[in-house]
Amino acid sequence: MGRRRRRRAPASDHRPVLEFARGLGYRFQDLGLLQEALTHGSYRNDHAVADYERLEFVGDAALGLVVTESMHFQRPRWDGQRRQETKSELVSNQSLAAAARALSLEEGIRVGRGRNAGEEVRSSDRILANVFEAVLGAAYLDGGMPAARGVLGAAFRKKLQRLRLKPPEGVPGWVRRAGAGLRSIGPLGIRIARRLLSLRKRVERAVGYTFASPGILAAALDAGDAGRHRTPGGRRGRKRRTRGRRAPSPPSPEPSRGGGFANRPALRFLGRDVMHLVLAEALHEHFPEWDEGRMTLARMRLQSREFTRTLNEHWDLGDGDDAGGAAEAVMGALYLDGGLEAARRALGRPFATALEELRDPDLELLDPKTLLQNRLAQAGKDTPRYETRRAPRNSRGDGTVSVTLRLADGLTETGVGRGLKEAEKDAARRTLERLERRSGRRRSRTRRGSAADSPGAAAGTSPAAAAGTSPAVVAATENPKGDLQEALVKKEGRLPVYRLISESGPEHEKTFVIEVLAGRRALGRGVGPSKRKAEAEAAAAALASGI
């Protein structure tokens, strides 16, 4: 008998995942990860599978580190502004969507049923950008940084050439062998070198890692104030006047090759993305039930000033105004010398404590300032105004900042902190407490005046609901964007569209207002510190209104 002919699979609107594994610049060991990365949320309507959102969270972090390390080694003389501008151009939605099309990823996306759903998904730059990040995250989880570099190099080859960058190849071998030989620097230089050596040994014991290239750690610990080091007596050393010769300079931690890669600003720029990826990877592993929104909030909490202070205590780096910068620079040095494994090991103990705190189901992940903005937006009220004034320095020399928060209804509150962000958050926290007390008094009067309590005044109501926020906004464990998409596809056969209404605030702390629409019909608005968070809040508002 002849061999029985295999039954042909039914036609599909997406190409098999195996076809993409051959053209991504990396050969996947686990094709299930790639298939998850190519699964849109609407596909879950009829199939019990995971979509790309959690992998997108990891891919976003991997993308940032691959781009940053490429600039770190290939363009060491670029300043921070040039690096940030180049990075922003590479990771924009339009750039990532073009990269997805270059790899033909739009042909492999699994989309749920619905009229024109597949066309809308595959033509959306935002969705294609998310899919590319998910594929990058899948590659990283499957094969580490070499896999992520391979995917990015295959997708961005032409664009990297235009930006005068080569495809990323990882850490050059000579970096790990680079030393920091001392030159003839005179008595002052010797004192500085001894001080750095003592600090380096103390930090190595704290992070649990011995550097093969001590000069890299010395650069991370050098805050650029070599000429102002304190003498053993406690007073700042005066600059010696020299006739006919230059004043002695501190030992240079830079290797003899590579230009200016070993300086603190560059290490800090790199270390920020190293910490971002290590935290994203750990959250993805330890909290498999969390959606992308909650993981993002948790990562923001772990990269806040409070967490960097904890790192500084564990690593014995001090607690000055540049506490966050010191921790980030050390993370960059650890990555250069020992890779991600050294960075993971150093974060182990402080991160273990933070993970236990994150397991608390009642923990509020939103910072007070963002939470206040969201609650006011849901109530249809104007955003708060912050008036800043710097308090005089005290005897210890650490000046504080005082901020007055004003609401449109006349309520004012004052917050104090060692920096502007800390003071604004303190003012927002105090304002939230006053709003909750005010709301509690209103509920109490309602109970006394009416036998039928409203749902908002019922016993057991959460503080968020008491402040006028819908439960969908506060419950970060839910997936409002996915739920809205599912409901809208079932009801109208279309996907929601998100539109940016406004963008305000300084570069380091922006506030986005985004509106979600079904065709031309507005469904809701959201406010957040990132576009993704604002989109989630807009989707939650649309769900709360019953779409």
- 96/124 Cα distance (integer angstroms): 11
- Mapping DSSP onto H, E and C, the string for 482-508 reads HHHHHHHHHHHCCCCEEEEEEEECCCC
CB 207 within 8 Å of CB 334: yes
**Closest Cα partner for 230 from 200, 187, 195, 198?**
195
Q: CB-based contacts of 361: which residues, under 8 Å, 6+ apart?
A: none
Distance of CA 324 to the CA centre of its chain: 15
133 noted as active-site residue? yes
- In 3-state terms the chain splits into helix, strand, coil percentages (rounded to 5) of 55, 10, 35
Taking alpha carbons only, the member of 265, 240, 506 closest to residue 388 is 506
Whose CA is closest to 466, among 493, 489, 438? 438
Long-range contacts of 370-373 (CB under 8 A, 24+ apart): 370/528, 370/529, 370/533, 371/428, 371/432, 372/428, 372/431, 372/432, 373/511, 373/527, 373/528
CA distances (Å), origin 421, targets 130, 343, 377, 416, 517: 30, 27, 21, 10, 33
46 an active-site residue?
A: no
The DSSP string of 88-119 is HHHTSHHHHHHHHHHTTGGGT-B--SSTTHHH
Annotated catalytic residue within 56, 106, 133, 254? 133
List alpha helices for 208-322, DSSP H.
214-221, 264-286, 292-302, 305-315
Give the three-class secondary structure for 15.
Answer: coil
Closest CA to 466 of 371, 537, 377, 375: 375
From residue 188, how far is each of 201, 232, 240 by CA, in Å? 20, 12, 10
Phi, then psi, of 243 in degrees rounded to 5: -105, 120
DSSP E strands in 139-180: the ranges are none
Residue 149: which residues within 8 A CB-CB, separation 6 or more?
Answer: 66, 167, 168, 169, 170
Which candidate in 51, 56, 60, 273 is catalytic? 60
As a whole number of angstroms, the distance between CA 168 and CA 299 comes to 26
Bridge partners, 448 (sequence order) = none
Residues 6 or more apart whose CB falls under 8 angstroms from that of 270 comprise 68, 69, 72, 332, 335, 336
Please give the positions annotated as active site.
60, 133
